[in-house]
Amino acid sequence: MTKMSRPLTRRWLGRAATAAVGAVALATAVATAPAASATTTAQASSTSHIVKAGGGSFRLHRIGTVNLLALARADARRGHAAKLSSSHLKMVPLRTPHAFAHSGKARHAGPAATSLANRFVGNVRGESGFDGITAAINGAANSPDAGGVGDVSPPDQGLAVGPSTAGTAIVEYVNDTLNIYSPSGKTLLGAIPGYQIFGLPPAAFLSDPRAYRDPLTGHWFLTQFTSGTTAPNIATQYIAVSQTTSPFGPYTTFSIDTEDLSNTAGGCPCFGDFDQVGMDRSGFFIATNQFSATSFNGSVIYAMSKSALISAAQSFGFPSPVVQTYVVPYASDSFAAYHLSPSTATQGSSAPNTEYFVESNSNLNYGNGLKVYALLHTGLLNSGGRPAMVESFINTESYAFPPNAVQKSGPTPLGCSLPAPYTFCATASLQTDFNAVQEVTYASGRLFAELSTGFNYGTGQNTGVAWFVLGPRPHPSSLNVKRLGQGYVDSSQQLLYPVIGVNAAGNGYLSFAVSSTTRYPSAAYVVFRGRGGPTGYIHVAANGVNPLDDFTCYPPFSSGQCRYGDYSMSTYYNGKIYMASEYVAPQPRDTFSNWATRVWSAPVR
């Protein structure tokens, strides 16, 4: 997430075995000590209790309407091109709890790797992909000529896929631009800056775009937030909901004030960082991390009726839904109440009236357990009621704070062109952020979650993937969780920002970015088989062609480590898993960055 109209620090505080004979075992996890290999032995959760979360309720604020196709046509007529300078750069700082604010320093020992996935091969049969939004496209869409912020980095990934009158539509939404493509990469819309979607000034500080299509209703949802205490960056969470089942529009837009001015003890005004979207049968959910200018306060969850939200989007004659808020303070949660990642139901799966959130231990550099939260009986939201929140803890394999990733040396024209004393012609490392759960998929009664982890490799550490399959069972006032599978994917190369995409049977792919001293930042994935997890070789969807040479890699813009897309994204639609990740593509760059995104799909077999 990076945008930068002036230099900022990232988020203010800091932020298998294959079926074929002879194949190398990536195994249930490619890697790992006995505790890390995929397990089919269910283990009951150790604790469960009702969470006395603070919060309240209010009605969602309706802003207006927007038509994406009309915006794209208007932008095409204007035809702005980016003319950038160092004053038109936007880098969203990584905001994390205090325990996380020491990237590059010594860490606790990570898990041990016992079998490495060092075989890299081409794509699976039936894969297809294309290069999506790039730094140059994003910079032009947010042109300073029109008052925009210019270059933005990193490209946090939003992805949604579904039907349209033009066939299968792939909505890609990154910092700070949205476009819609066909599976072949044909542009169906045109690049739209995020500020236009929500009717904001061009200089608005937007971050963390998300795109989601609800397989139950067929409606499309877009979210993003602003952070700041003065216009145009007042702390606000924005939501756009399609009035029809078309991704092109029209949409109705809504907002939530996240300043929380009544929380004086927390140093507010605050903002809701790293917003994540969840959806079950009845509810629409946004989970955020609350920060003030000087402190991290915990997580805030916003829950509302999905049907009421869609009705309010379709007609102004319907009232906006009641929003229930749940506040989990930093001090009340031994895991730091950071990144309570909500679940979304995959296409073809039943969706319960229970919404699940999975949290790893963000209070330490080294952990071996997960917390699962649940909002019970979410059908209550349809009548303005308040579902109860419960929590359960389960022991898991260990995971550790990931080290930064290296990349293959190559040309760095931006770094070499910086004036002394900032001239830097060497290849910078890539930030890997943290060991927090990013995305959670619900599929037929199981939760699929993943995180980045450090693991011991030689005399140092690499960054790899820890994955988990959990079986939650809600009760009237409690939650039981079983561990159905777990393991690692690791390699002599660095694996960054993982995400699991599966169908209702739990089959699909685990995708990520990969980089090393012999590989430029690239997009990759591995087959994923239910509770058995990853299997087979690592497939490279697209090889990077240069090192990342981005303004965030160098002082004076940052501490000298490249910001990288804070998350990849994956979704299932009609027999295929669609995946997207940052990489360095053979595409035109602009002056201050060469990042690009790769969007690809592969059939589930």
The DSSP H or E segment spanning 136 is: helix 135-141
- Please tell me the distance from the alpha carbon of residue 280 to that of residue 287, in angstroms, as a whole number: 14
Lowest mean pLDDT among 34-38, 199-203, 350-354: 34-38
Where residue 78 falls among pLDDT bands split at 50, 70, 90? low
* Residue range 484-493, pLDDT digits in tens: 999 999 999 9
Q: Calculate mean pLDDT across residues 432-451.
A: 96
Give how far the C-alpha of residue 447 lies from the chain's centroid of Cα atoms, to the nearest Å. Answer: 16
Which of 43-57, 130-144, 371-385, 502-516 has the least mean pLDDT?
Answer: 43-57
Report the b/e string of 481-514 with b at 16+ CB within 10 A.
bbbbbbbbbbbebbbbbbbbbbbbebbbbbbbbb
Contacts of 96 by beta carbon, 8 Å cutoff, 6+ apart: 11, 13, 14, 15, 296, 338, 362, 433, 434
* Per-residue model confidence (pLDDT) at position 24: 29
Query: 600 with 541: CB under 8 angstroms?
Result: yes
Residue 575 pLDDT exceeds 90: yes
The tokens describing 364, both together, are: 């330490």
Instruction: Quote the CA–CA distance of 274 and 494 in Å, as a whole number.
Output: 24
Q: What is the mean pLDDT of residues 306-333?
A: 96
pLDDT of residue 113: 64
DSSP-based three-state secondary structure for 309: helix
CA dist., res. 315 & res. 166, Å (int): 26
pLDDT of 125-165, one tens digit each?
Answer: 999 999 999 999 999 999 888 888 889 999 999 999 999 99
- What's the pLDDT at 77? 74
Provide the percentage of residues in the chain whose pLDDT is more than 90. 76
Output 16 or 209, whichever has higher pLDDT.
209
DSSP state of 410: -
Helical segments of 261-388, H only:
306-314
Burial 336-349 (b: 16+ CB within 10 A, else e): bbbbbbbbbbbbeb
- pTM (global) more than 0.85: yes
> Model confidence at 411, in pLDDT bands (50, 70, 90)?
very high
The predicted model gives 83-111 an average pLDDT of 61
Of residues 37 and 511, more confidence is placed in 511
Residue 34 scores a pLDDT above 80 = no
Provide the pLDDT confidence category of residue 536 given band limits of 50, 70 and 90: very high
Q: How many CA atoms lie within 13 A of 199 on its CB side?
A: 13
Is the per-residue pLDDT at 20 higher than 80? no
Please state the length of the chain. 605
pLDDT on residue 47: 67
What pLDDT, on the 0 to 100 scale, is given for residue 232? 77
d(CA 174, CA 155): 5
DSSP 244: S
Other C-beta atoms closer than 10 Å to the C-beta of 291 total 28
Query: With 80 as the cut, is the pLDDT of residue 2 above it?
Result: no
- 12 membership: H or E segment, kind and range: helix 11-14
Q: Which two tokens stand for residue 589?
A: 């760059």
Instruction: Look up residue 453 and give its two tokens.
Output: 């982890």
On average, the pLDDT of the chain sits at 88
Statement: residue 37 has pLDDT above 80: no
pLDDT given at position 107: 47
* 108 three-state secondary structure: coil
Handedness of CA 549, 551, 556, 558 (dihedral sign): negative
CA angle, residues 299, 302, 304, in degrees to nearest 5:
160
The model's confidence at residue 386, banded by pLDDT at 50, 70 and 90, is: very high
pLDDT greater than 90 at residue 84:
no
Give mean pLDDT, residues 530-543: 96
Q: Which of 33-37, 128-132, 476-480 shows the lowest mean pLDDT across its residues?
A: 33-37
Confidence tier at 98 by pLDDT (50, 70, 90): low
Residue 114 has pLDDT above 90, yes or no: no
- Please, what are the domains in the chain? 11-15+24-603 (2.130.10.10)
**Where residue 29 falls among pLDDT bands split at 50, 70, 90?**
very low
Average pLDDT, stretch 415-435? 95
